[in-house]
Structure 1
Amino acid sequence: MNHLSTLPTTGEQARHALLLLGAPASARLVVDVHAALFDGDLSVAALTRERVPGLCSALRDDLSAAPGLVALAEWPLSRRIVTPATRQADELAMIVRVAELAAISPGRASLRLLRELAARVPHGVEALDLADAARAALTDPALVAKIAAEAPAREELVARAATLDERQQLYGVPAVPHQRGKG
């Protein structure tokens, strides 16, 4: 019996969605984007139950794995490390990309996805053009100031992460359990 499939693998399907998104994203968003804009059978369970070749964890500011956020292993550390302001900017940039692609090939699934994403954009729900609303939010002076304030800490994080071994760079530094007493 031949078990060859013409469907892309889980990793390939997730890669398509992540390349469109351009930054670490939740497994749910990766699956929703893929379902709305690409063909395939990608599921959250397939992304979260085991390590998928080509994918890795996003890293938090303590260099541990960011729960639920997946990234492409080929991305540089600077793109895989998530901090609050850059995460907010990345999400808005993702929404711009998704909205632009959905405008090219509208359908029920893509319209449903856009309605869900609109709630994440200031004034996105009432906006005539979600991509324009997200672009405007990206240039908000408060967000720009937050990103600038985070820049030195992000540079330090990238430098610290570069000293980790390859496995830790991909999946984060394991959390050390809190120890009671002075052992």
Structure 2
Amino acid sequence: MNHLSTLPTTGEQARHALLLLGAPASARLVVDVHAALFDGDLSVPALARERVPGLCAALRADLSAAPGLIALAEWPLSRRIVTPAARRADELAMIVRVAEFAAITPGRSPLKLLRELAERVPHGPEAFDLADAARAALTDPELVARIAAEAPAREELVARASALAEKQQLYGVPAVPHQRGQG
């Protein structure tokens, strides 16, 4: 009996969803997007396994792994580092991409996913066009100012992360355990 599968691997399925999303995302969102818009059997437990080929951790400001956020290993560090304002902008841009992709994908009905994503956008639930509502939120002056204020710190983070070993660039710097009796 032949047990070969024609389904893409976990890494390939996650890659499809992450390419559409365009930024680090939670395993749950990756699975939900994949289930709504692609064929396959991607699951959160499969993504939770250690070191899925092609995937890595998003990095926080302290260059440790951002809990629960996965990214594509092929993405540059600047795309894998998450800061609050950039994360919000990425989330809105993801919603634009998903809504636009869903609109042009025949035979799929991702209404549940789109409803959940609409909750993350100001005026999203009542918007006629979710992508337009997310685009408008991206141009909000407060968000634009927060992104501009973060830019120098992000540049410094990318420079610091570039000096790390490749494994640390992919999976973050491990947290140093608290030391007792410091002296």
Equivalent residue number for residue 174 of structure 2: 174
Equivalent residue number for residue 82 of structure 1: 82
Decide whether the 8 Å contact of 2:102 with 2:108 is kept in 1. Answer: no
Offset of residue 178 of structure 1? 1.4
Separation in 2, partners of 1:178, 1:122: 41
Equivalent residue number for residue 126 of structure 1: 126
Distance change >3 Å, CA 69–CA 109, structure 1 → 2: farther
Offset of residue 137 of structure 1? 0.2
Aligned ranges 1:62-101 → 2 under 5 Å: 62-101=62-101
TM-score, with structure 1 as normaliser: 0.97
5+ residue gaps, structure 2, are none
Decide whether the 8 Å contact of 1:115 with 1:125 is kept in 2. Answer: yes
Equivalent residue number for residue 141 of structure 1: 141
Alignment-mate amino acid for residue 55 of structure 1? L
Separation in 1, partners of 2:107, 2:36: 8
Separation in 2, partners of 1:67, 1:105: 32
Offset of residue 124 of structure 1? 0.5
Aligned partner of residue 110 in structure 2, secondary structure: helix
Equivalent residue number for residue 16 of structure 2: 16
Separation in 1, partners of 2:88, 2:106: 26
State the number of aligned residues: 183
TM-score, with structure 2 as normaliser: 0.97
Sequence identity percentage: 88
Equivalent residue number for residue 5 of structure 1: 5
Decide whether the 8 Å contact of 1:17 with 1:34 is kept in 2. Answer: yes
Structure 1 runs of 4+ aligned residues shifted over 6 Å read none
Q: CA RMSD in A?
A: 1.2
Separation in 1, partners of 2:118, 2:6: 34
Separation in 2, partners of 1:31, 1:107: 19
Offset of residue 179 of structure 1? 1.5
Offset of residue 109 of structure 1? 4.8
